[in-house]
Structure 1
Amino acid sequence: MAVEQRGIELVSPQERYGRPRDLLFLWSGTTLGIFTLVYGTVVVSLGLSFPQAVAAIVIGNLLAFPLVGLTSLQGPAVGTSTMAVSRAAYGPRGARALGLFGWINMVGFEAGGMVLITFAALALLDKAGVHDQGTGLKVAVIVVAALIQLVLPLVGHAAVMKAQKYFTWVFVAMFAIMAVLVGPKVDVAAGGGADFATFTIAVALVMSCGGLSWAPLGSDYSRYLPANASRRAVFLSAALGGFVPYVLLMTLGAAVGTVVKDAGDPISGLPGALPGWFTVPYLVLAMVTLFAVNTTDLYSSGLNLQAAGINVKRWVAVVADLVICVAITYVAVMSNSFNELLNAFLNLLIIWLAPWAGVYLSDWLRRRGRYDGPALFDETPASPYWGAGGVRWPGIVAQVAGMAAAALWINSTAFVGPISQATGGTDFSVFAGVIVAGVVYLVLERGTARRPAAVPAEAAT
């Protein structure tokens, strides 16, 4: 229970521990949550039939969660976080902007989780007879929730990994009960179905709220594994740990969406598909799963803040993030605009995440997965990743080009790109962002020296 002091600094071989299968429990405990269930209801709310929704869920997750497996591979080999590894493509200074984007990404999800935790706690208090819920009570609930949320991310990696292992089994049992209760009510024939353009929007949504948004966290949790850990086991444990829960829970959410029209509201709407006696257990489950998801987010957001060039200790970054989340939660709870804010946030994530994934994967392929750990933290011209003034312009140009491509082909509640409009509202923003950024990066880096890292021999096996 000692507070972990390490941030993005390299983990020495003597401090490595654990097995690849630990990642399976980490990602299962993280993704077995109410948020995942809600994403499935949102897919149905777009107008898809239940079979169409299941197809979009399977395709979107099948395309996205391998990214989590791939970004987990560098943790054991190098011993640092995913965003620190991104310095190889963007340069030690150029990668700061991506670290900042990653931090914003995590803070957004953390705030969303805190809002739902607050709503669930207030609903439980209402069930207990506390009907007068003024500003003072809401503030008190937010503060108490924040203090509870602070514990595991503050303690650090070992506590998070162990807690998520136990959370996994509890969540599996509870959601299995939910499936049994909802199953007989599912209307498979509900809805007339949607056109191809709407289906592409659903796939993009599934990818952005799933593997694509979790990919920047991959090595944050695999970095403590021994350098000779099986690469195959690391990849499969991380990818399947998220893929299986997402497919199952999103499908359950889609099923609930055929029963309850406002199932996208996980506190006052979704319980309508459940018998009254299960409402209180469901609200407790919602809170615990949200605490579990936020634990993973908060731990990584502190690392991303350091990767953004903010020179603070990891625990200080965690506390600062939570303070910001409390402020955002207060605004959202008081304005009752949570659903609108969440949808806009999820839609716009694609614009930076898809190009980042394209650059990261292209750089990984170009270097054959080999990076020089100490050189990633060398902010002098002697570093092989220095570029020009600490910026590797091929990575920056590729990122901007990918973001432009994604924006041109996105179809969201906040913005519809001109190519999307010209193609009947299709949304291929994820594919456009990944492909354009990846290709531009490889073209601009063609012929430049790779200078592969001095990775231990056993790490490359």
Structure 2
Amino acid sequence: MSQPPKTQHASIPEPLAHPETRGIELIQATQRHGRARDLFPVWAAPNVSVLNFTVGASLILLGLELWQAFVVIIIGSLPWILTGIVATSGPAAGTSGSVITRAIYGIRGNRVVVAFFGWFISAVFLALNWLASSFMGAELLGQFGFTDPVLAPVLVTIVVAAVTVLVAVFGHGLILRSYPAVASVLLAIFLLVTAFVLPHAQWGYVAPEPLEGAPLWSAMTIGFAILASTPLSYTNSPDLARYLPESTKPSRIIAATALGGALPCIFFTAAGALMATGIDAVAMDLGIESALLALLPAWLGPIFVVGVIINTIALNGMTTYTASMAFQSIGVPIRRIPSAVVVGAIGTALTIYLVMSTSLLDAVNLMLQLLVLISGPTMAVFATDVILRRNRYSGAELFDEDPGSPFWYNGGWHVPGLLAVVLGAASASLFLTNPAWTGPIAAAMGLVDLSVPVSLLVTAGIYIALTRLAAKRRPGVLPAVENAAA
């Protein structure tokens, strides 16, 4: 089948007067609109986040010097390029990423991957970001006399979750039009907070016990894994780009997506590292949210908390929006809006559990590292497939689920994609260093965490080798890959 005809003209964006009813349905050429640069604020708004401060502070707590933390922050932002590469498949196919991956895993295999991996990643990030706003919101309520340590964050979680689901219900049109303003407001608030944080920083900071050798590499690689887990988790980037005209240049999509996510992450994570140099260990033990608010004047604290909540809604609204289409892609007979409500309920339940059982800093570090075992291989295989196929996806063929269809492969399963992800995750687990699990190779190397590069390289290498082998054995089944390999 041929792809939908290209168009050089952008149509009028969908109206905001009613919720977006479209789910994974194919977007025709006449319904496309926008420019690649519109993606920059869409990715910037969710990533002007308090979690950046948290991750930056954790790098110092790992024992790194400032310059070492800055190096890790920059290198840890490079995987945003993969997020941009994957985003280019959205306009090419005209549908969501959870449908495009049928080309990687097969019709039936994709249902398993999306049902397990997609939902897990979405639930984790919903919970982590709601957790941040819950703790910060509880701190603010405490200033007004409401000090219940459990009820306060739970109430904040429920209110923020409800608004988040509302954003997801109105969908793409609301996100595209409101996020530029949201990004501007958040940038102003977080820059103001940074201005009050930096005077407390010790620019000549020296770690109490400077690290050398294996302990230094351990701290740096663990920090890299934590930072890289965020961009690697965004395999949903095609969902935000799919309304763009098919003729949009892929290089511009990659640049707008990668820079929109990376720039705020780099800047505010670095600010978090600087902040940690001016806070003693006792204050950090009370919680990063308390330590941060203690550095701000009384009038700025509430404004910052509002900013954190707005950021949480922006990020989780986007996550809930894309996750709501995952249900449809795996064959569950549910429309996108009810699906968004279900996603929100799952994320809320997980957040409430974390509120009552952990601190923000512990939750972020633990879950982001474990997430690499899933996000690394799934991002690697998606980006590799985009490159192998030269971003040639037929939306019509992706929706053909009958036996014998182009992406039916062997009984609905594409072994190269499935095996690459499983072996990539298994290999990465051997190199992971985490309080919950330390791989045997990582332990033998002095707790050096190479889970991210291993997951990317192993997954991509296996997928390329097996896909080319499959193309040779069954000529015509994978023509795009076969041509790209030639």
List aligned pairs for 1:121-200, cutoff 5 A: 121-131=137-147, 133=148, 139-188=154-203, 189-191=205-207, 192-194=209-211, 195-200=216-221
Question: Kindly tell me: are residues 23 and 254 of structure 1, through their superposed partners in 2, closer, same or farther at Cα, counting changes over 3 Å?
Answer: same
Q: Quote the Cα distance in structure 2 between the aligned partners of 1:129 and 1:114.
A: 22
Q: 1:358 to 1:328 in 2, by over 3 A?
A: closer
Number of aligned residues: 449
Distance change in 2, residues 1:142/1:434 (3 Å): closer
Answering whether residue 283 of structure 2 is matched by residue 283 of structure 1, we say no
TM-score, normalised via structure 1 length: 0.92
Contact 1:4–1:155 (Cα < 8 Å) also in 2: yes
CA distance in 1, matches of 2:451, 2:233: 14
After the TM superposition, list the runs of 4 or more consecutive aligned residues in structure 1 that deviate by more than 6 angstroms.
none
Residue of structure 2 in register with 1:365 after alignment: 387
- Give the match for residue 484 of structure 2: none
RMSD: 1.9
- Cα distance, 1:309–1:345 mapped onto 2, change above 3 Å: farther
What residue number does 1:27 align with? Answer: 43
1:202 aligned to which of 219, 223, 227: 223
The 1-side partners of 2:37 and 2:405 are apart by 34
Gaps of 5+ in 1: 454-461
* 8 A contact 1:92–1:385 mirrored in 2: yes
Cα contact 1:402–1:436 (8 A) shared by 2? yes
- Residue in 2 that maps onto 1:329: 351
Q: 1:80 & 1:193 partners in 2: Cα distance?
A: 50
Q: Of 236, 246, 250, which residue of structure 2 is paired with 1:227?
A: 246
Amino acid at match of 2:171: G
Distance in structure 1 (CA, Å) of the matches to 2:151 and 2:262: 40
- Cα–Cα, structure 1 residues 134 and 252, in superposed 2: closer, same or farther, change >3 Å? closer
Contact 2:53 2:269 in 1 (8 A): yes
Going from structure 1 to structure 2, the CA distance change for 1:13 and 1:344 (only over 3 Å counts) comes to same
CA separation of 1:367/1:28 partners in 2, compared to 1, >3 Å: closer, same or farther? same
Unaligned runs of 5+ in 2: 1-15, 482-486
Q: Name the structure 1 match of 2:319.
A: 297
Q: In structure 1, what is the Cα distance between the partners aligned to 2:460 and 2:414?
A: 15
Q: Does 1:415 align with 2:437?
A: yes
Offset at 1:367? 1.5
Letter in 2 for 1:110: L
Cα distance, 1:272 vs. partner?
2.5
Q: Provide closer, same or farther for how the CA distance between residues 238 and 139 of structure 1 changes in structure 2, counting only shifts above 3 A.
A: closer
Superposition deviation, residue 120 in structure 1: 2.5
Instruction: Please report how far the alpha carbon of residue 364 of structure 1 lies from its aligned counterpart in structure 2 after TM superposition.
Output: 2.0
How far residue 246 of structure 1 moved from its aligned partner, in angstroms, is 0.7
Aligned to 1:236: 255
Mapped partners of 1:232, 1:135: distance in 2: 47
SS in 2 for 1:68: helix
- Partner AA of 2:402 in structure 1: T
| Equivalent position of 1:97 in the other structure | 112
1:452 paired with 2:480, answer yes
| Residues 77 and 334 of structure 1, relative CA distance in 2, 3 Å threshold | same
Give runs of aligned pairs for residues 37-76 of structure 1, distance below 5 A.
37-62=53-78, 64-76=79-91
1:446 match: secondary structure: helix
Aligned amino acid, residue 388 of structure 1: N
1:459 maps to what in 2? Answer: none
- After TM superposition, the score normalised by the length of structure 2 is 0.88
Aligned counterparts of 2:83 and 2:110: Cα–Cα separation in 1 = 19
Identical positions, percent: 31
Note the C-alpha offset of 1:65: 0.5
